[in-house]
Amino acid sequence: MTSSACPNCSLGLSNEPTHISNRVQLPRPHPFNPPQNASATALPITAEARTRQNQHFFSTLLEVAADDPAVLANTAQALAYFGEDIGTMTALVDRALALNSNFARGWLVSGTLRLWAGQSDIAIEHAEASLRLSPRVRTGTLFLVIGAAHFASRRFGEAVPKLLLAIQDDPGFPLAYRCLAACYAHMGRLDDAREIVARLRAITPVVVPDVGFLRNPEHRELFLSGLRLAAGDTVWSVATHCDPAQVDAASMTCGVVAVHLSRCADCSRIFVQSAAAGNWRSCSFN
């Protein structure tokens, strides 16, 4: 585990065995850590139960430290990730910045929540404000926020250098690799995308994560379709590029994909790029 700032400073919390409490300075003990005398035979906690614990913990923090900018910002980010209303959580971060307008970390969190809300340009502005306030001391995954925001706006050429900086800044954080791989895939640079996926798999087996924290469905699908394409799932990526919720990957046939390709210019472009690279697993298109 790296010593960098909280992993949910960008697109979201990691699915890897790293929790927010490991990267944000929070009081211990807390719900992330079982009691010292917990039974070794106790049943494992479910994901839903852990989420409820986390929400309760961060809500309690707000009650006891409502005028602390750091608590307000970090708690708002965590609760937004766990599904709380993004507008309400953004208002909490705005309050943190009203209490301390020079709070570099707060501006980065604000940029992160704007990114999750689909407000890419504002996300970049706020992340750059954080960088101006703290050009030397790292406040989180700042370059990832900027790079991901450019990616979400389909400014792939501007996203790549920022995402490369994000990887250099924190080589052990998987999300930067995922964003860069998706970006390369949408640019048609499939060899580069596959190379980044290979580096990602050396860090984690999870290539395509849950991205429910992204509130904009177009941004979610842009990210997921690029990442699936980078991972080599061409049939799945092409067939589900527009509406993955309505397509069963197991039932995909050449005919179904061909019909979809005839109706979707973006998917046709992806298919042509994939065909040129011979990049599909088990289905050929005749």
Is the pLDDT score of 225 beyond 90? yes
What was the pLDDT predicted at 232? Answer: 83
Q: Which tens digit of pLDDT belongs to each residue from 58-71?
A: 667 666 666 889 98
Answer yes or no: is pLDDT of 252 > 50.
Answer: no
Is the model's pLDDT at 153 over the cut of 70? yes
The pLDDT-based confidence of 11 (bands split at 50, 70, 90) is very low
131 or 18: which carries more pLDDT confidence? 131
Average pLDDT, the chain: 74
Full DSSP string of the chain:
----S-GGGTT---SSS--GGGTS---SS-TTS--TT--TTSPPPPHHHHHHHHHHHHHHHHHH-TT-HHHHHHHHHHHHHTT--HHHHHHHHHHHHHH-TT-HHHHHHHHHHHHHHT-HHHHHHHHHHHHHH-SSS--SSHHHHHHHHHHHTT-HHHHHHHHHHHHHH-TT-HHHHHHHHHHHHHTT-HHHHHHHHHHHHTT-S-SS---TT---HHHHHHHHHHHHHHHT-HHHHHHTSS-GGG--GGG--HHHHHHHHHH-HHHHHHHHHHHHHT--SS----
Spell out the domain ranges in the chain: 7-35+42-231, 235-286
Q: What is the mean pLDDT of residues 137-165?
A: 96
User: What band does 111 get if pLDDT is binned at 50, 70 and 90?
Assistant: very high
Domain 7-35+42-231 adopts which CATH fold? 1.25.40
Residue 157's pLDDT is what? 96
Task: Please name which of 155, 227, 156 lies closest in space to residue 190, comparing C-alpha atoms.
Answer: 227
More confident residue, 148 or 10: 148
pLDDT over 70 (residue 243) = no
pLDDT digits (tens, 9 = 90+) for 124-140: 999 999 999 999 988 89
pLDDT at 183: 97
Band of the pLDDT at 55, cuts 50, 70, 90? low
Q: How far apart are alpha carbons 198 and 111 in whole angstroms?
A: 29
State the pLDDT at residue 78: 85
Considering only residues 215 and 51, tell me which one the structure prediction assigns the higher pLDDT: 215
Confidence check: pLDDT of 274 > 70: no
pLDDT at 76 over 60: yes
Signed CA dihedral, 152, 154, 159, 163: sign only: positive
Higher pLDDT, 37 or 94: 94
The pLDDT score that the predictor gives to residue 75 is 86
The more confidently predicted of residues 215 and 250 is: 215
pLDDT at 17 over 90: no
Give the pLDDT of residue 115.
Answer: 97
Residue found by looking up tokens 């991972």 in the block:
231
The confidence score (pLDDT) of residue 268 equals 56
Q: How confident is the model at residue 86 (pLDDT cuts 50, 70, 90)?
A: very high
